[in-house]
Structure 1
Amino acid sequence: MFWLNIFFIVIIVSPIMYLIKRLLRSLFNIEKTKKKFFSYNHINKWHARIDWGLRLVTVVVNFILIFLISYERISILSISLVLVLLIISDYLVRAFFEWRYTDNPKEAILTISDMVILLVSVILVFGMNLLNLNVS
């Protein structure tokens, strides 16, 4: 049931992200840029270094969360707060480099909109306990 809930959440959030991106592209006249599907799409070397550093921190934090969930009683609020902070840091770094170092700085608007949608999704999923987690 857990994976089915995740599947439905992804099925609901993905089209919302697509539609909002499309709406923002038309409102702000943002040109569509060609990006590879399974690529990191780093803007420059600094962005690559910072992004890999954030990924390393994310992996370490996730292992710590798994440990805390397994051996300690940790609240869903704590888990969601950590996930929210990781999402914010990742998307803000990407938005900053898109705004500052690309030919099309309006792409940062789309990145920030993705961040907001994901944040609202995470807050709703954990706040409403849509995954039926038994962690108190």
Structure 2
Amino acid sequence: MVWVKFVGFILIIIFVVSLVNAVLRKIFKIEKEKKAFFPFNYTNKLHRKIDISINIIAAFVYIFCFYLIVFKGYSVNIFLVSVILFTILDHSVQAIFEWKYSQNPKKAVLTISEMSLVVIAIILTIQFDLFSLLIF
């Protein structure tokens, strides 16, 4: 039952993000691009280097957060806050490079909206303690 709730929660978030992206694409007349399942949307080599650096640092921070949660008894919220920070950082870098160096700078609007929705979902998870409801 726990996994059904968790998967349902994730599917709702994905649906809302997709819906908002579709609406924004129509409003701003942004063409949809074909993407792989895990796309690497690097605008240039500098963007690639910065994104990889952010992901490596995030991995170490996440491992440290798991250590704090499992061995030191910290709340799961510490992990969720780190996810929020790295989501904002990663999507902000993506939006900046899309705005400055991309063929279609309007894509930055989609990136910012996606970031906002994901951060709101995580904040709601923390605020209403949804993570503990999903686990227990």
Provide TM-score, normalisation by structure 1: 0.89
Q: Which has the larger share of helix?
A: 2
Identity of aligned residues (%): 35
Check conservation: 1:5, 1:131, Cα contact below 8 A: no
Work out the CA distance in 1 between the residues paired with 2:77 and 2:65: 12
Mean alpha-carbon deviation: is it higher for 98-107 or for 72-81?
Answer: 72-81
Check conservation: 1:2, 1:131, Cα contact below 8 A: no
Number of corresponding residues: 133
Work out the CA distance in 1 between the residues paired with 2:77 and 2:105: 34
Q: Which residue of 1 aligns with 2:42?
A: 42
Mean alpha-carbon deviation: is it higher for 1-10 or for 116-125?
Answer: 1-10
Check conservation: 2:69, 2:76, Cα contact below 8 A: no
TM-superposed CA distance for 1:76, in Å, is: 4.1
Question: Where does structure 2 lack aligned partners over 5 or more consecutive residues?
Answer: none
TM-superposed CA distance for 1:130, in Å, is: 1.5
Structure 2 residue matching 1:35: 3-state secondary structure: coil
Q: Which residue of 2 aligns with 1:131?
A: 131
TM-superposed CA distance for 1:96, in Å, is: 0.7
Question: Where does structure 1 lack aligned partners over 5 or more consecutive residues?
Answer: none
Check conservation: 1:98, 1:107, Cα contact below 8 A: yes
TM-superposed CA distance for 1:39, in Å, is: 2.8
Mean alpha-carbon deviation: is it higher for 96-105 or for 1-10?
Answer: 1-10
What is the Cα-based RMSD across aligned positions, in Å? 1.5
TM-superposed CA distance for 1:86, in Å, is: 0.8
